[in-house]
Amino acid sequence: MPRCDDGAVRPRFSMYRPRVLLVNAYFDDLRRDGGRPFSAPQSIGPTYLAGAFHPAHCEVRLYNEQYSGPLDDPGLLGWPDLLVLTGLTVAFDRMRQLTAYARTLNPRVIVVAGGPAVRALPRYSARFFDYPCTGDIEELRDVVAEALGQRYQADEMFPRFDLTYWFGRIAYLEASRNCNFSCGFCSLTGEGQRYRNYDVDYVRRQILALDKPQLLTFLDNNFYGNNRKQFRARVDMLRELWHERRFGRWTALVTQDFFLGEGNLALVREAGCMGLFSGVESFQDEHLRRFGKLQNTPRPQTELIRECLDSGVVFAYGVILDLTTRRLRDCHEELAYITGNPEIPLPAFVNQSIPLLGTPYFHECLDKGLLLPLTKLRDMDGSTLVTYPLDPMDEVAEFLRGLPYLRGYRRQVMRHTLGFLRRYSRRLSPWQLAIPMSSAAMTVAPALASAPTRLGFNGASADRRTYIATTETLDRRYRPVFAVSARYEDYFRPTMVTDAKGRLAESLIPDLGGFNPTQQGVESTQRIA
């Protein structure tokens, strides 16, 4: 039987229907409580993982903290025999907290955890979870067979859209896995997983299992991929189902080599595509090359975006600012360029670069002594400074405080929005125009746009945040909402990435290679605000 470090023996089952709860753990990047039902994209992790359990032999429930807010209900937390946790890197501590709650309420619960942080920290994760999964989602079938018994393992792993309560007019799915490019800041690069296309018939089955959504969103890391024949077969299938009215329209994420292929835009538009997301990251080639984003450099990105919009397909993108190599004035110049050019939409998000665990960028920052002292894994959310910047700390902190709202650019945002509407209102449908308009709303008022009915909640408020990892406040999620067993109190302590001298935290050395750089020449020129 599996054992965790708490010494509790986990049960096996025979003819009983075990209760299974799958949770998408989530920490809000604005440090607010409550769900974000209107934020996009939403998680599909629990949906696909639920397919590992035999639907007739297991009682399965899903919970999405991004959509519904923090899971604090003792009745639900104490309900499962087996708890499956997934989430982004920054949500690793939230998974630990949910484990503490569940084990306090049910000491015999089996806890399974996966996601990028678990894959980067398998040894550290084994301290907290019975089964820290480091492989693909199919690994969960093997866990089910070992922890519960083979009769509880699904005959075929197929996503449980019927349990995904946060799907409605918009539904999410995948047609491929991983990416065929290796950007230095991407967790997929750190994991080294190969790109895989799903069989076209499998994708078709997923779509037919949905309840005819108005918008079908593919959350592939790269919908275009490296197999042109398979890409065309997938688009042909989508065209067929679109004409059969199995869904309204569809969107997907593609890398920018897609836009270099002659006829690609017409191909997807005629198959019902209403919009594409692509990682622009920066409009300056030197910064793209630094992160190995060479696929974005053959043609000016502004030109590609304009062609996409003129063809009748919405273009969405994000911007990443690396403050270890860019001055604030350079960042302001790029933001001024974006907000002053109505030929391109506003970005869906503007973040600073994140040295995600195990990525080339993380090891570069670690090796050069760029990580700030007392950096917590929770701080790696894109809104908190975790590396030494080129500019003074107080100026950078003030910049980051206003970055989610593009503070100082609101007039430009309004002028840009009007100019964008004038240029593209005849090329794009009202529904398509809603996508860039929502980006503008998220820029000016992100909390209102992502949760318009839930404005009365607040976690670590903006005026108490420092935006500097060394001194940043913690969410109130780190304080248990009800009493937990004393043996799990440390589950509410943050996972430290660096120690007080900026060296790799001792607890992470077994997983991250034992890097232990000195801070000579760094701390002498920077002061922590």
- CA angle 420/261/342 to nearest 5° reads 10
- Tell me the one-letter amino acid at 523: E
- CA angle 11/13/19 to nearest 5° reads 85
Q: Name beta bridge partners: 316.
A: 277
| CA distances, 7 to each of 35, 77, 82, 108, 195 (Å) | 35, 20, 17, 10, 39
| CA distances, 70 to each of 33, 128, 382, 420 (Å) | 7, 20, 20, 37
Above 60 in pLDDT, residue 523?
no
Residue for token pair 């910047």: 389
Per-residue pLDDT of 296-332, as tens digits, reads 788 899 999 999 999 999 999 999 999 999 999 999 9
- In this structure, is residue 140 part of a structural domain? yes
Return the pLDDT at 522.
36
Q: Backbone phi, then psi, for 89, in 5-degree steps?
A: -55, -45
What Rg, from alpha-carbon coordinates, does the chain have? 23
What the block records as the tokens of 172 is: 């999410």
CB contact burial 51-82 (16+ within 10 A = b; e otherwise): bbbbeebbebbbbbbbbbbbbeeeebbebbbb
- In this structure, is residue 446 part of a structural domain? no
- How many domains would you assign to the chain? 1
Per-residue pLDDT of 188-205, as tens digits, reads 666 777 888 999 999 999
Give the dihedral sign, CA 76/77/83/86: positive
Question: DSSP character for 23?
Answer: E
CB 478 within 8 A of CB 492: yes
- In this structure, is residue 107 part of a structural domain? yes
CB contact burial 323-342 (16+ within 10 A = b; e otherwise): bbebebebbeebbeebbebb
Return the pLDDT at 463.
56
- In this structure, is residue 68 part of a structural domain? yes
Above 70 in pLDDT, residue 460?
no
| CA distances, 220 to each of 224, 225, 411, 497 (Å) | 9, 9, 35, 29
Per-residue pLDDT of 259-301, as tens digits, reads 999 999 999 999 999 999 998 988 988 888 877 777 878 889 9
Instruction: Give Cα 16 to chain centroid, integer Å.
Output: 36
Helix (H, G, I), strand (E, B) or coil at 423: helix
CB 54 within 8 A of CB 120: no
Looking at residue 45, which CATH number applies to its domain? Answer: 3.40.50.280
Would you list the DSSP string of 333-380?
A: HHHHHHHT-TTSPPPSEEEE----TTSHHHHHHHHTT-BPTT-BGGGT
Q: Which domain holds residue 131?
A: 19-152
Residue for token pair 């300056």: 284
- Tell me the one-letter amino acid at 132: P
Residue for token pair 């969107």: 251
Other C-beta atoms closer than 10 Å to the C-beta of 163 total 16
Pairing of strands 131-132, 196-197: unpaired
- In this structure, is residue 53 part of a structural domain? yes
Give percent above pLDDT 90 in the chain.
Answer: 72
Per-residue pLDDT of 59-112, as tens digits, reads 999 999 999 999 999 999 999 999 999 999 999 999 999 999 999 999 999 999
- Distance between CA 131 and CA 10 in Å, rounded? 11
Per-residue pLDDT of 331-390, as tens digits, reads 999 999 999 999 999 998 899 999 999 998 999 999 999 999 999 999 999 999 999 999
- In this structure, is residue 253 part of a structural domain? no
- In this structure, is residue 283 part of a structural domain? no
Q: Backbone phi, then psi, for 513, in 5-degree steps?
A: 90, 5
Other C-beta atoms closer than 10 Å to the C-beta of 410 total 13
- Distance between CA 371 and CA 508 in Å, rounded? 14
- Distance between CA 235 and CA 239 in Å, rounded? 6
Per-residue pLDDT of 443-459, as tens digits, reads 666 555 545 555 444 44
User: In whole numbers, what is the pLDDT of the chain averaged over residues?
Assistant: 89
Above 90 in pLDDT, residue 515?
no
3-state SS, 63-131, equals EEHHHHCCCCCHHHHCCCCEEEEECCHHHHHHHHHHHHHHHHHCCCCEEEECCHHHHHCHHHHCCCCCE
- In this structure, is residue 516 part of a structural domain? no
Instruction: Write down the pTM of the prediction.
Output: 0.90
User: Smallest Cα–Cα separation from 324: which of 291, 283, 288, 353?
Assistant: 353
Per-residue pLDDT of 155-197, as tens digits, reads 999 999 999 999 999 999 999 988 876 776 777 666 777 888 9
In this prediction, residue 4 has a pLDDT band, given cuts at 50, 70 and 90, of: low
| CA distances, 162 to each of 20, 41, 46, 117, 171 (Å) | 15, 19, 12, 28, 11
Return the pLDDT at 447.
54
Residue for token pair 């701390």: 523
CB 258 within 8 A of CB 220: no
Question: Per the omega criterion (within 30 degrees of 0), is the bond before 213 cis?
Answer: no
User: Smallest Cα–Cα separation from 256: which of 244, 247, 265?
Assistant: 265
Per-residue pLDDT of 225-250, as tens digits, reads 899 999 999 999 999 999 999 999 99
CB 374 within 8 A of CB 445: no
